[in-house]
Structures are given as C-alpha cells and as structure tokens.
Structure 1
C-alpha cells in the first residue's frame, strides 16, 4: 500500500507531530544538499516525497511561529552511526549545510 501524505497540514506552536513518526523511524528519509560553485547553483535532493514534505513543514512552521530570523540544517551523527534529525531534517554526512535567513519583523 502506497503511503499517502496528508494534504491538510495543521501546525501548532508546540510543533505537534513534527516530524511525523514514520519519518523518525526510518533513516531512508533524507535531504542531500550539493553545491556547484562553478555554475553557481545549489541542489536540494530529497530521498522521497515524505522527506520533502517534512522539510516543507519545518519551513512553514518557522514562517508562522519563528522568532529568530535564521534556520540551519546540517548532517550529524551522535550515537550508533545513526543520522540525527536537525530541525526536522535528516542529512547524510556528505551533504552541504543549508542556511535560511529572513527578516524577523512584523513591519512587513
């Protein structure tokens, strides 16, 4: 049976169900960021739609509830050779870091 992503996303300030249990349980859901300096582009390569979906939820959450003006995504292993989830994203060690900055002002 194919896994169906929920098209009704509910965000709470507490971050309930972020990331989803399915995402947490399986290491295969990852984001790989590569940078081509010669051609001046970056590529976000998701291992699945679920990996992209969870990344998108984190960005939306930050837009709605964020208070810092900055997000960082990076690869990390702490224990058991298992990739950590940082800000809702799991990245392989070979991945480049990803930074997102925005004006943190209500005077838009």
Structure 2
C-alpha cells in the first residue's frame, strides 16, 4: 500500500485496486441509541482512500460532499473514491467554502 500522497487539483485521483476489487469496502453503521457511528473497513486501502477523499475535499472542494452506497447489476460501485456496502448509512459532510469558521 502507498504511504505518501500528493494532492493536486489538476489531476483526478482514482485507485485502480480499490476500483476493481470489491473487497475494498466500508460499512457505515449508526447506533442512534448510543449516539455512535461505526466505520467498519474491510481493508486498509478502503480506509486510506476514504481519508484521501476527505483531504481532497478539504483542499479543493466546494463546501459539501456526500458518500453513499451505489449498486448496479448487483455490484457495489465506488462513489467519490469510496465503496460503501449496500446497507451502509449515507454520509454528508458540510464545511465553509472559504476561510476559517467555527462550527
């Protein structure tokens, strides 16, 4: 697995291993009673690409990103660099478009 990352807004990143191998996936489960969220990553590569996607969004994004399960022909697809299992919760990330702001 890769251990260094270069970010560029000129190049769209896509990890061919994660794209082609469905074992690289994440299940997101919400326990509303305990107020917990569990990220169950099937591989380090899946976690790495999720982190990369969030960093790219923080550096070059527009103020929001959504991660959601997407299935076509019974195959779980990659959305925004992340493959979420069919039974995963959706993730919505909102942040300021520019500058520093408190939440």
Asked if TM exceeds 0.5, the reply is yes
Distance, in Å, in 2 between the alignment partners of 1:29 and 1:14 is 26
Q: TM-score scaled by structure 1?
A: 0.85
CA deviation profile, 1:47-82 (whole Å, cap 9, x unmatched)? 110000000110010111112x1111111112x311
Question: Between Structure 1 and Structure 2, how many residues are aligned?
Answer: 101
In structure 1, what is the equivalent of residue 60 of structure 2? Answer: 65
* Structure 2 CA distance for partners of 1:59 and 1:15, relative to 1, 3 Å: farther
Instruction: Choose from 10, 19, 24 the match for 2:6.
Output: 10
In structure 2, what is the equivalent of residue 77 of structure 1? Answer: 71
In structure 2, what is the equivalent of residue 91 of structure 1? Answer: 84
Structure 2 residue runs of 5 or longer lacking an equivalent are: none
Structure 1 residue runs of 5 or longer lacking an equivalent are: none
Instruction: Choose from 42, 48, 63 the match for 2:43.
Output: 48
Deviation at 1:96, TM superposition (A): 0.7
Q: TM-score scaled by structure 2?
A: 0.89
